[in-house]
Structure 1
């Protein structure tokens, strides 16, 4: 289980996260809903060790992650796929993917096996493996970003706005891939503004506003909540 207890984060004098309490059980797909700037990315950046929590606890299983180096957090199985993809555009698709397996660099057979799994999930990446990542379409670049995260063999995957800027058909394909990753056994925490698409594949969800959790519930509870529908689904 991935659990955040009373986690707060400051950017200087600004309180970006205020006593955040969220959890994802093993095998769950949990969605974080909220407008741009609500604090979703800050939750992920703090969980992955890139930002230092001002207070609180972040545990993965029995392991405390607060104070741990980001590389060590990845080695423990918590992997972030960042908003904006953060690819190396002048490097090939294959090299971008291979970088994701760096923590397993001593296991060449395992890296090859994981790479085959990524290519099986996203066949177009095998076809374009020698092309520069920057030459791909937005949807294909997002596939590379997710594939690179999978190369780290995550037990818990933090996906930050994977559908941002993508065409509707590509968004559908992306959520199908995320659902497949989750059903294969990976715990997924998904930050999304596309509330309807995210909730359709979710187990549970949290609504974040101004760095605070203002609502939580099951998929159906949030899909049928009038305030959530009005604010995030538009119906």
Structure 2
């Protein structure tokens, strides 16, 4: 579904991506882990069109999306959930979700049925459906932006640090939800500081250091890798 090859990006004179290559197959959960400043978020934003890379290639379902603006990448079916949890604070939970369906052309009844299906996975949001989004907790806002992205019916869901700043109870809930989204047919590219939880739900993973991919394997094998355990799982 997604093929990134030799991707490069610069912030002025600083090269943030140095020939990054990765791929995501349909139906997979792929995790990207690494330290702060490794270039993970930059890579995601180049894929989704928020940033413009300066070299390499990006293919999405065989189509070249290198340098396309974010709204065109989104129309092709790649939805990114940003790490800063952008909700429309004055709108209700339901109104926020409906904003995600803005570009869909199918009938309102089908969209309403899909929302109800997502409420089964995110029951907290159903309980707060009429509440202003700005009054939700951080964990509830994270769930809201995930549902808003899902209702756009994306082919690829890109999650950037979904557990950032959340209480442990919400972190567990988010990572219990990711496999359920995969079972519903979602393909997910996940960047996450909590390496152990990310690799536990991932089919495959990539390790990124200072703008380069340095290691790739199955999620299970990376969890058992001595280098990964020492550097990213805090084990000696």
Asked if these proteins are the same fold (TM beyond 0.5), I'd say yes
Distance 1:183 1:106 in 2: 23
More displaced 10-residue stretch of structure 1: 103-112 or 204-213? 103-112
Question: Are the counterparts in 2 of residues 10 and 16 from structure 1 also a CA contact under 8 Å?
Answer: yes
RMSD: 1.3
Distance 1:37 1:93 in 2: 33
- Once the two structures are superposed, residues 128-174 of structure 1 have per-residue CA deviations (whole angstroms, 9 ceiling, x without a partner) of 11111111111111110111110111111100000111122221111
Match of 1:62 in 2: 62
Distance 1:67 1:171 in 2: 33
Q: Report the alpha carbon displacement of residue 211 of structure 1 after superposing the two structures with TM.
A: 1.2
Match of 1:83 in 2: 83
Match of 1:100 in 2: 100
Match of 1:217 in 2: 217
Question: Are the counterparts in 2 of residues 105 and 111 from structure 1 also a CA contact under 8 Å?
Answer: no
SS in 2 for 1:102: coil
Where has structure 1 moved over 4 Å in runs of 4 or more? none
Distance 1:107 1:54 in 2: 40
Q: Report the alpha carbon displacement of residue 220 of structure 1 after superposing the two structures with TM.
A: 2.2
Question: Are the counterparts in 2 of residues 81 and 160 from structure 1 also a CA contact under 8 Å?
Answer: yes
Match of 1:201 in 2: 201
Does residue 9 (structure 1) correspond to residue 17 (structure 2)? The answer is no
Q: Give the TM-score of the pair, scaled to structure 2.
A: 0.95
Distance 2:112 2:217 in 1: 40
Match of 2:141 in 1: 141
Match of 1:131 in 2: 131
Distance 2:121 2:75 in 1: 23
Q: Report the alpha carbon displacement of residue 193 of structure 1 after superposing the two structures with TM.
A: 0.7
Match of 1:173 in 2: 173
Number of aligned pairs? 235
Q: Report the alpha carbon displacement of residue 105 of structure 1 after superposing the two structures with TM.
A: 5.3
Distance 1:106 1:130 in 2: 24
SS in 1 for 2:109: helix
Q: Report the alpha carbon displacement of residue 119 of structure 1 after superposing the two structures with TM.
A: 1.6
- Once the two structures are superposed, residues 91-116 of structure 1 have per-residue CA deviations (whole angstroms, 9 ceiling, x without a partner) of 21112111111121564233223222
Unaligned runs of 5+ in 1: none
Question: Are the counterparts in 2 of residues 27 and 186 from structure 1 also a CA contact under 8 Å?
Answer: yes
